[in-house]
Structures are given as structure tokens and as C-alpha cells.
Amino acid sequence: MRTLKFLFRRLALSLIVLFGLSIMIFILGRVVPGDPARMSLGANAPQETVDRMRQQMHLDEPIIVQYWYWFSGIIQGDFGKSLYTKRPVIVDLTEFFPATLELVIFSGLLMGLGGLFLGIVSTKFNNTWVDNIIRIVSYLGVVTPSFVFAIIFLLIFGYLWPIFPTMGRLSRYLSFPPNHTGLLLIDSLIAGEWETFWNGFSHIILPAIALALGGMSQEARITRSSMLDNISKDYILSHRAYGIPEKRIFYKYLLKPSLIPTVTVFGLDFAILFGNAFLVEMVFNWPGLSRYGINVMLQKDLNAISAVIILLGAIFVIMNIVTDLVVSFLDPRIQLAD
Amino acid sequence: MKSNKFTFWKENIGRSWYKFSRNKLSVIGLALFILLILAAILAPFITPFPKHAGNYVDLILGSQAPDGTHLLGTDIYGRDMFSRIIFALRPALLMGIMVLALVVPIGTILGLIAGYHKGKFSDHIIMRFTDIFLGLPPLILALAVSSILKPTLTNSMIAVSVAFWPWYSRLVYNMVISIKNEHYVISSELLGESKIHILFKEILPNCLSPIFTKMTLDFGWVIIMTASLSFVGLGEQPPDPSLGTMVAEGARLLPDKWWVAIYPAFTIVLMVLSLNLIGDGVRDMFTATEE
């Protein structure tokens, strides 16, 4: 019951945030110098056509009315037309978003599992050379931006020791499997096309690792320090005195409460992956939403920019709610108040 | 009174330095960072080809591998990479300083006001406004803002600042709501001290250590974010040297001309690494030791 109430409250607050975000984006869009009607028609269009366009785009009306037209369009999934692709933005989104989603999910799995694994190993072998190596590597992982990892991987695994393809989602000679989920790896499994699956897998592995390493390092560090904090607590000692097997103490009584900070950071990092994907997709020519986002930003294509941002904002907000729910499940003492 | 205050600070600095310097890695980080700052300031004097920082073309010397004259090689226009990297430290460091100088006071003051008036109108207004800005990953927010502005250093500064201030008001807000119920705050309220006095003299000093720790770490994040903006082409424009642009240009030349991308990339890592090492030391400095 409390969870439900929390969920309801958070959803309401999130809607306010998204609404505010839409206002902010709208205002930002109007700050841009230049006439949007003129921009969409090109410099050579006659003045009358531009005037008619202005009327069509409701640019003559007060700004609040303009916002209303724009906002009611968004609610119905109508983000207007992209000046860059000359298609409705929503069509672009549905085409490009699955590629980014696949990359980010894959990367998030690597990040979470890898970080957890490294953190646990580091705790188990505390103060040995294994621990030291993991600590140094994860420190470097935290301070290295994902696009630098992307470039280094491109150099090493793309050229010097070319074991993975570095461009796109799938080799040219293969065709995409029938579309069910939009996620290439899952679609190819559904269709039973193993070659396509492996090809897609080999394409996703480099960008996904480049994207995951930063967060993975952070999770490893946090898991380690949180477990080491808890290991000296009295309740662990008393469990030990009761003769509970070490393994059970480690995984059940030590690991579970230690995961709370890890999960909190994971939730945030997962959402941040969508941001860093902007850079990694560019390096690996990944045909996703982020590469699309960069292109429309460079073209100052306002309709498309606002659509990308609102979509990512919605994801970010949802991720935050999910994180809070998981944390409250891990630690019943935390009350879902705010 | 004044001299007392002075000895107090002197002692404090001595103790802080002792705590900071116990972590040898932090001292190395600090030394490295000072070295980078000096290199940036003295760039025209220590670089072999200061002219190459600007709009200089010598295609005959283009894309030369690192050797004795060009320590880190040259880019496609024949410009010395070492000189360009040293000059690129300037905008990077400037960004860090300017963004923090802009963001920390704004975020802190808003957090102080909202936290002190928790539950009141100003709290709701400020914090919902903060939440809107926290509703996007910082990099995406910065990209969005800079995509709309002209790509210059000042505008990247604005874009990055827009992405960073809400984290400070959130941080300060959370601290203030617990501090404002402490006895010393309540007692100065009863004494009838002004709000300014209570906010800045009673509450703020107790928020400083997490703010300083966050600032050192954020300096590195600002550098990464600036580099990211110029990496995608939304930051400072060529021919001005910027690490992100250099990495992006070099990425197209991989693998043969690897030095064009790799050295600027390592410079970014080195800067952020030094700042993170300092950050660890600053955290130790503010943590009460149990001895």
C-alpha cells in the first residue's frame, strides 16, 4: 500500500518534471535567432510562402498559444517534421531508438554484472595483488571518458588486432531479421538466424564495453568499499560466532545490504549511459538515436532536438523511480517517503 | 581578535595539509595539477612552436610521426601536437574555474534558501525548478543547450553550467534541512539574528566540506564534459586548440596517425586523474579521524 502511494506520488512529480522540461525546451527553441518558417523553407523561398508557413506553424499567435499547439502535439506523439531527414520526427525516433536501447541495455548488463563481480572479487581478495590491480584499473576507469575508451578500442581491436568489426550494427552482406522488438540480437534469436546473431554480437561488443567501463569501475569501487564497511560490523561477527557457514554470511548477510549504494549508483549510471552513448555511437557509427541526436543538434533541427530530449528525459525519470523501488526492496528500513 | 583568527587559520591549514599529505597519491595528483597549470600559463614560453596553436598550415610537415623536433608528432595541417596540447590546457582549465565560479555560488545559495524554508513556497519553487534540470542526464542537457547557442567557449561554459548547478542546490538543500534543526541555529534564531547571518554564518560553514570535495571532483567532470561537447563539434571551434576537437579529428586518422587522437585523449585522462587524486585527499582532509 505504501509502495503504491509512493509510486503514485513519484509519478505525479515526474509528470511535473517532464512538463517543466517541455516548457524549458520550448523556451530554448524560441531563443534561437532566425525565423523557424524561413529555416524550414530555405533562404530562397518567396516571402508569401514564408508568411503562409508562419500561419501554418502558428508563429503569429501569442507564445502561450504556440506552446499549447506544440504541447498538445507532443502528447499525441506528434513532434512535427524533422528538417534534417524531412520525415515526421516520430518516424525517426521509432527507427533509431531501438538501436540505442539495445546498445544501452547490453552495456548496462555488462556494467552491472562486471562491476559487481569485480567488487566482490576485490573484497574477497582484500589487500592482495588481485585487489590492488582491480583498484588501480577501476580508478583509471572512473577518470577516463567513454569516448576515449571508444577511440582506444577502435585503435586496438579495430586495427592493430582486428578481431571485432568497428562500424555499424551488422555486416553489409547480412540482412536484418524480421522486426519484432527492434533489438537485433533478440530478433535474430527469434528468427533462429545464428549467423546474424553472432555478427550482431560481434558488432555490439566494442561500443558496449567502451560505454560500460566508466560505470563498471564506479560500481566495482562502491561495492568494494560498502562491503568492507559492513564486514567489520557486529552482526557479521555474531553470525560467525553462531557458526553460520562463511559462504552464506558473505553472500546473504554481507552482500545484500552492501548492494544498496551500488544499486543507487547503477540506476543513475544506467541513465547516464544514454548521454555517453551520444559520443560512443559517433565513434562506432552506430545507427542509433544518439547519433541522430548529434546530427540534428548540429543542424539546429528544433523539432527533432526537443523530441530526443523529451524521450531521454522520460527514460531518466522512470529509471530514478525504478531505482528507488529496488533500493526499498533491498533495505526495508528505507521508507519511500519523498 | 584579528591575530587570533590568523593563528587559528594557520593551525588549521597545517592540520589540513597533514591530513591531505598522508595520502601520497593525492600529493602526486596535486603536484601534477600544479604542473599542468604552470604549463598552461607558461605555454608561449615552453612550447617549441607557439604559432601552431592558431591558424597555421604547413602541409609539407603534415601528419609527421613523433620524433625529436615534434615530440608528439604533427596533425594533418603540420602543426606541432605538443604545442597544441599545451595551449589546449588553457581553455580546459579556464572552463573548470569559470563553471565552478558560476555554478557553486548559485547552487549553494538556492539550496540554502530552499532548505531553510523547507515546506514553504520558496522551497517548492526552487526545488521543483531544480528537479526539472535534474530530469535529464547532465551531458544531454549540456548538449541540448549548446546545440541551440553558437559554438564558442563562452557558450559551452553556459551550457555546462546549466547542467551542473542543480547538483549543488540538491546537495546543499539536503544538508541544510538537517543542520537547521541544530541547537546553535535555533539559538541564534531566538537571539533574533538576521536571516543572512543565520544562513551564511551559522549554516553555510557546516556545509563547506562536502561542497569543496564535490568541487574538486566536478572540476574533472567539467573538463570531460567540455571535451565531450567539442568532440561532437558543439564546443569551441577550430582553429582554437581544444582537446575534444583534437581527439575527434584524430579519430578519423586512426590507425596510421594514431598520435593525433591518442595524446590529447591521454591529456584529458591525466587532468581528470590528477583532480580525482586531489579530491580523495580533500575528502580525507575533511573527514574527522578516529585517533
- pLDDT at position A330 is 76
Lookup result for grid cell 555554478? B103
- pLDDT at position B30 is 93
Confidence grade of residue A318 (pLDDT, cut at 50, 70, 90): confident
Q: Considering the entire predicted model, what is its pTM?
A: 0.87
What is the pLDDT of chain A when averaged over all its residues? Answer: 84
Please name the residues between 192 and 251 in chain A that touch chain B, using a CB distance below 8 Å.
none
Query: B23, B124, B133, B136: best mutation site toward chain A, by most A Cβ within 10 Å?
Result: B136
The ranges of chain B with pLDDT < 70 are 1-9, 288-291
Rounded Cα distance, B35 and A333, in Å? 48
- Residues 6 or more apart whose CB falls under 8 angstroms from that of A331 comprise A257, A260
Provide the number of structural domains found in chain A. Answer: 1
Is pLDDT of A336 > 80? no
Per residue in A169-199, pLDDT (tens digit) is: 887 777 777 777 778 888 888 887 888 888 8
Please name the residues between 137 and 156 in chain B that touch chain A, using a CB distance below 8 Å.
137-140, 143-145, 147-148
Percent of chain A with pLDDT over 70: 94
Between A49 and B32, residue with greater pLDDT: B32
Average pLDDT over residues A313-329: 84
Percent of chain A with pLDDT over 90: 18
> Per the domain annotation, does A30 fall within a domain?
no
Per residue in A84-120, pLDDT (tens digit) is: 788 888 888 888 999 999 999 999 999 999 999 999 9
Q: Which domain CATH number covers A106?
A: 1.10.3720.10
Coil, strand, or helix at residue B71? coil
> Per the domain annotation, does A130 fall within a domain?
yes
Is pLDDT of A13 > 50? yes
Please name the residues between 71 and 110 in chain A that touch chain B, using a CB distance below 8 Å.
none
> Per the domain annotation, does A9 fall within a domain?
no
- pLDDT at position B290 is 44
Supply φ then ψ for residue B195, to 5 degrees.
-60, -40
- pLDDT at position B5 is 61
Of B232, B247, B254, the CB nearest to A294: B232
> Per the domain annotation, does A12 fall within a domain?
no
Of A144, A279, A313, the CB nearest to B232: A279
Of A18, A24, A144, the CB nearest to B269: A144
> Per the domain annotation, does A16 fall within a domain?
no
- Residues 6 or more apart whose CB falls under 8 angstroms from that of B164 comprise B99, B103, B107, B138, B218, B221, B222
Average pLDDT over residues A22-50: 74
> Per the domain annotation, does A334 fall within a domain?
no
> Per the domain annotation, does A193 fall within a domain?
yes
Confidence grade of residue A12 (pLDDT, cut at 50, 70, 90): confident
Per residue in B172-217, pLDDT (tens digit) is: 998 998 888 889 999 998 998 888 899 998 899 888 888 988 998 8
Between A143 and A54, residue with greater pLDDT: A143
- pLDDT at position B4 is 62
> Per the domain annotation, does A281 fall within a domain?
yes
- pLDDT at position A140 is 92
Min distance B27 CA to chain A CA atoms (Å): 16
Q: What domain range is A246 assigned to?
A: 89-288
